[in-house]
Amino acid sequence: MSVIYDLEHITTYQYRKPVTFGEHRAIFLPSGGVGGRIFSYALETNIPSEVRWMMDTLSNNVALIKFSEAASELRVTYRVRGEHFGWRPITDFPLDPRAEAVPVQYTPDEWLDLSAFMRPHAADPDGSVAAWAKAFVAGDQDTTLDVLQRMMDTIGSTLTYQAREAEGTQSPGETLRLGSGTCRDYAWLMIEALRRLGFACRFVSGYLYDEALDGGEVGMVGSGATHAWLQVYLPGAGWRAYDPTNRLTGGYDLVRVAIARHPGQVLPLSGSWFGEPQDYLGMEVSVSLRKLATLPEFED
């Protein structure tokens, strides 16, 4: 099964008086390949701009925007029409024997390719993240999938979800200490904990398709907004998605836009402006992901 969808993502910045803008980076275009395809896309701004596209070091699509006029409001609108194929749950993908227990045994070639995603990025000055991670492997009979599922379930059941539009991601230690966070914070905590257990993990930004939205309801946490989750590299299964916010492993709900070593690399929109600090009045984000059609799955 695949889904044809329309995506609209509008970010609006308000200022007390006209300010000038430096270059902005927009990362909104979903990745193609086996996960889906793009039929059309557009990037619009309310003031004159010049857009240049590039592909970053991790092959994410990045739009660089240069503005030529000052304004008291900046509005950037992304529109995408695409098809999302999704993934079957991870239980449909058997693991290689060397991936069935923790720590996973990566080959030398895999180590070379995955090393950037295996090294912890965030500081853990009090050792709280490492200690929290090790608690999930206290028993020597646990399989890799048991550990991953239990960690994801623990995050989803013991932490309190608190949405916020402000940019930035809490440190994993801060998320544990506060007992709350956003989808970005949940994913980052799980990534850094798993890296301390020897897993290769990467941060994923994108969108969450929630069928309930088509009926005017919200069924999953984080739907109707940008979303974040993680992927873990498991020999035999490859990069598999884990969404601790909704306790999802793959499926047809996650529309991937970009991957990164850490969350700061894939902000949906970032840039600079020049004026007095008190001129900034705030930011508003509106995201709509709407299903247009569902197509049947073809059998081999």
Residues of the chain with CATH 3.10.620.30: 90-265
Tokens linked to 140? 């020597």
Confidence of residue 300 (pLDDT cuts 50, 70, 90): very low
**CB–CB of 206/266 below 8 Å?**
no
| pLDDT score for 225 | 66
Between 207 and 219, the more confident residue is: 207
Distance from first CA to last CA of the chain, Å, rounded?
13
Q: What is the pTM of this model?
A: 0.90
Residues of the chain with CATH 2.60.40.2250: 2-84+266-295
pLDDT above 90 covers a percentage of the chain that reads 73
Question: What residue type is assigned to position 254 of the chain?
Answer: L
* Least confident interval from 13-27, 216-230, 254-268: 216-230
pLDDT tens for residues 209-244? 766 555 544 545 545 568 999 999 999 999 999 999
pLDDT band, very low/low/confident/very high, at 49 (cuts 50, 70, 90):
very high
Say if residues 62 and 27 touch (Cβ distance below 8 Å): yes
Across the chain, mean pLDDT equals: 89
Q: How many CB atoms lie within 10 A of CB 235?
A: 18
- CATH for 2-84+266-295 is 2.60.40.2250
The predicted pLDDT at position 217 comes to 47
- Residue 274 identity: F
pLDDT in tens, 115-140: 999 999 999 999 999 999 999 998 76
Mean pLDDT of 262-287: 95
CB proximity list for 117: less than 8 A, separation 6 or greater: 195, 200, 201, 202, 233, 261
> Which of the listed CATH numbers 1.10.486.10, 3.40.50.920, 3.10.620.30, 2.60.34.10 matches domain 90-265?
3.10.620.30
Q: How confident is the model at residue 299 (pLDDT cuts 50, 70, 90)?
A: low
Neighbours of 271 (CB within 10 A): 18
